[in-house]
Chain A
Amino acid sequence: MLGEAWAAMGSNRLRTALTMLGMVIGVGSVVLMMAIGQGARYAVAQTISTMGSNLYMLISGSTNAGGLRSGGGGGPSLTVADAEAIAELAGVSRVAPLHYGRQQLVHGSSNWNATIVGTTPAYLDARAWTVTSGYPFSDSDVRSATRVALIGQTTADNLFGADDPIGKSIRIQQSPFLVIGVLGRKGQNLDGRDQDDTVVIPLTTAQRKVFGTPFPGSVRTVMVQADSAEAMPAVEQRIIALLRQRHRLREGQDNDFYLRNLTAAADSAAETTRVMSLLLGAIASVSLLVGGIGIMNIMLVSVTERTREIGIRMAIGARQRDILSQFLLEALMISVAGCLIGLLLGIAGALLVNAITNMVIVISGGSVLVAFGVAAGIGVFFGLYPARRAAALDPIEALRHQ
């Protein structure tokens, strides 16, 4: 039976090849699109996981000094005491006040401009940021405003090259800082900013020696981490209520701070890529469908062309199911062969995309299996109607057919 189906396919090679091409393109595009879609989801998931989970960013309100408005984070409305109070709330696991900005770093004859983050040790925990060599600073460093620094990989590379930065000194705003640790690599954030081009120092040191502040005890931003994703809406309400009370805001008065849910932004980014990969898959599936219709079309032509053959086969004893399975097998062979070629081309295409654009691609066994199953399903589905038509032919009519 298999050999016969093969011979039937070989009898009109060009037609078989063109029919197969429909399946090749269909399966190939599904595999390619799924690889790209899953790659994008993987990349976003990676980026999100570097950000830390269940995070809020609390930003102080803007000021208005003689018509000059500062924008968010410019005002002195948030204080370290606020942060400490938030840390006491139920559902809050970590709170880290932040003061950051860009500054020039100098080490010996080399210099570099990086983001300086003044914060507390809780910041590293909230962001699940490890120290790969050396050690992190402690709460006592924050209390006594010691001049110690943790530096990111990019900063380390640019300032120290191949040298070990631990124990070396860097100058920020004329103040010498001792490098006590190097942070693990995090890569880009959702905005594409390099998270490793960073220096993390104690909050107090940052306020006194680096940025200076006209409002001692105030902070621009506070990072808050909730216990769990489920707790986040409740925690949000509690933080707002607490701060309104602490800031003595009356009913109807606007908040003098902004509370941003970082996870929501990450979720929406993940959702966007999920929808995108679904969309890609859907578009590719349409071409698979078109390939299937191509098979049906050719099988119908083939049944008409071979009506006499069907009549002969019936006359010498073929049952209806013999005829049915013969044509079904042919359709299945075309679709499965097309699927195999499409699979190889799709994977090759995905690797090519990866090589040319550096885009992350993920080819999972699951997607390959799904493409294969769908192709076989299409072969059966679109082959069934022509095959049934062949099997239902009247032997006398079929024999008379020219």
Chain B
Amino acid sequence: MPPPLIRVASLGKSYDTAAGPFPALRGVDLSIECGEFVAIMGHSGSGKSTFMNLLGCLDTPSSGDYFLLGRNIAGLGQDELAALRNRAIGFVFQGFNLLQRMTLADNVALPLVYAGVEREQRRQRARQELARVGLADYAASLPSRISGGQQQRVAIARALVNSPQLILADEPTGNLDSHTSEDIMRLFTRLNADGITIVVVTHEADIAAYARRQVRFLDGLIVSDIATPAGAASAC
């Protein structure tokens, strides 16, 4: 059996504050298998964002271990972390985070620039991913010309462009209305069916309901980890 996609063991992270070190995570154990669709839930301050940053290799833990694809992240340097963010992980943010100056196609192709992919191939793959999220006709538009829901779909296309195993979405529907939110979650469901592992951070129960597993954080610890009726993990 292959190692789990993500495995964290007694993961801890504390921040230095004026009042001394503040433990945002206090020993978290969790495994996420390839092909899962997990919702991370919790109130603000529960440690779920800190956990996301660690999962996304944007930050390194203060204690404990984090194995991504069987590799321990703790000992990696900045460049290796950047390479993981580039190839193994796709980020989707609450605020879409598209670069306003660039066309949608250029936005989608940006991770490929850092992966060292040739220009022509970049263009081709960007078009492909835009088509996958249903925005093939908007390749040359600027982000400011399209709606929030469309921008989030472009952001998802960007997350997908380097064919990562894992998509990390931090409150992806936080800035969207309920109808558009459903669209985005259905898109995630479809991508998950294609075999991509998806981890969504949300505090909304109806968004979490799309996932097949719900992990709840409170005060830096996991307080519940339940499978939902949505069904078993797809093969990957």
- Chain A residues proximal to chain B, CB less than 8 Å: 1, 7-8, 11, 308-309, 312-322, 395-396, 399
Name B162's contact: one of A1, A317, A322, A396 (CB within 8 Å): A317
What are 25 pairs between A and B in contact, CB < 8 Å?
A7-B101, A7-B102, A308-B97, A312-B97, A313-B110, A314-B82, A315-B58, A315-B91, A316-B85, A316-B110, A316-B111, A316-B114, A317-B85, A317-B114, A317-B115, A318-B86, A319-B79, A319-B82, A319-B114, A320-B78, A321-B79, A322-B114, A395-B58, A396-B59, A399-B93
Name A318's contact: one of B53, B91, B114 (CB within 8 Å): B114
What B residues does A319 contact at CB under 8 A? 78-79, 82-83, 114
Most buried by A among B79, B102, B114: B114
The 8 closest A-B pairs by CB, nearest first: A317-B86, A317-B114, A319-B82, A316-B111, A312-B97, A395-B58, A317-B85, A315-B91
Most buried by B among A1, A317, A322: A317
B87 at the interface (CB under 8 A from A): yes
What B residues does A317 contact at CB under 8 A? 82-83, 85-87, 111, 114-115, 162
Interface of B: prevailing SS: helix
Contact present for B99 and A320 (CB under 8 Å): no
Q: Across the two chains, which residue of chain A brings its CB closest to B53?
A: A396
CA of A315 to CA of B97, assembled, Å: 10
Report B101-124 CB contacts with A as 1/0, cut-off 8 Å: 110000000110111000000000
What A residues does B87 contact at CB under 8 A? 317
CA of A280 to CA of B78, assembled, Å: 48
CA of A277 to CA of B91, assembled, Å: 59
CA of A321 to CA of B78, assembled, Å: 10
Q: Across the two chains, which residue of chain B brings its CB closest to A391?
A: B78
What A residues does B86 contact at CB under 8 A? 316-318
B158 at the interface (CB under 8 A from A): yes
Contact A314 to B85, CB < 8 A, known contacts A11-B101, A396-B53: yes
What A residues does B58 contact at CB under 8 A? 314-315, 395-396, 399
- Chain B residues proximal to chain A, CB less than 8 Å: 53, 56, 58-59, 78-79, 82-83, 85-87, 91, 93, 97, 99, 101-102, 110-111, 113-115, 158, 162
CB distance from B187 to the nearest CB of A (A): 19
Q: Across the two chains, which residue of chain B brings its CB closest to A312?
A: B97
CB distance from B189 to the nearest CB of A (A): 23
Contact present for B78 and A316 (CB under 8 Å): no
Q: Across the two chains, which residue of chain B brings its CB closest to A10?
A: B101
CB distance from B9 to the nearest CB of A (A): 22
Q: Across the two chains, which residue of chain B brings its CB closest to A321?
A: B79
Most buried by A among B79, B85, B102: B85
CA of A7 to CA of B100, assembled, Å: 11
17 more A-B residue pairs beyond the given contacts A315-B93, A317-B114, A399-B97, with a C-beta to C-beta distance below 8 A: A7-B101, A308-B97, A315-B56, A315-B85, A316-B110, A317-B85, A317-B115, A318-B86, A319-B78, A319-B79, A319-B83, A320-B79, A321-B79, A395-B59, A396-B58, A396-B59, A399-B93
Contact present for B91 and A316 (CB under 8 Å): yes
CA of A33 to CA of B111, assembled, Å: 48
Most buried by B among A314, A319, A320: A319
Q: Across the two chains, which residue of chain A brings its CB closest to B91?
A: A315
Name A316's contact: one of B53, B59, B101, B158 (CB within 8 Å): B158
Contact present for B114 and A309 (CB under 8 Å): no
CB distance from A327 to the nearest CB of B (A): 15
Contact A312 to B111, CB < 8 A, known contacts A317-B85, A319-B82, A399-B93: no
What A residues does B114 contact at CB under 8 A? 313, 316-319, 322
Name B99's contact: one of A309, A321, A395 (CB within 8 Å): A309
What B residues does A320 contact at CB under 8 A? 78-79, 82
Q: Across the two chains, which residue of chain A brings its CB closest to B159?
A: A316
What B residues does A308 contact at CB under 8 A? 97
What A residues does B97 contact at CB under 8 A? 308, 312, 315, 399
CA of A11 to CA of B101, assembled, Å: 7
What B residues does A395 contact at CB under 8 A? 58-59
Q: Across the two chains, which residue of chain B brings its CB closest to A402?
A: B95
What A residues does B102 contact at CB under 8 A? 7
Contact A318 to B93, CB < 8 A, known contacts A11-B101, A312-B99, A396-B58: no
CB distance from A146 to the nearest CB of B (A): 88
What A residues does B99 contact at CB under 8 A? 309, 312
Q: Across the two chains, which residue of chain A brings its CB closest to B110?
A: A316
CB distance from A131 to the nearest CB of B (A): 72
CB distance from B215 to the nearest CB of A (A): 21
CA of A399 to CA of B82, assembled, Å: 15
What B residues does A396 contact at CB under 8 A? 53, 58-59
Name B82's contact: one of A1, A7, A318 (CB within 8 Å): A318
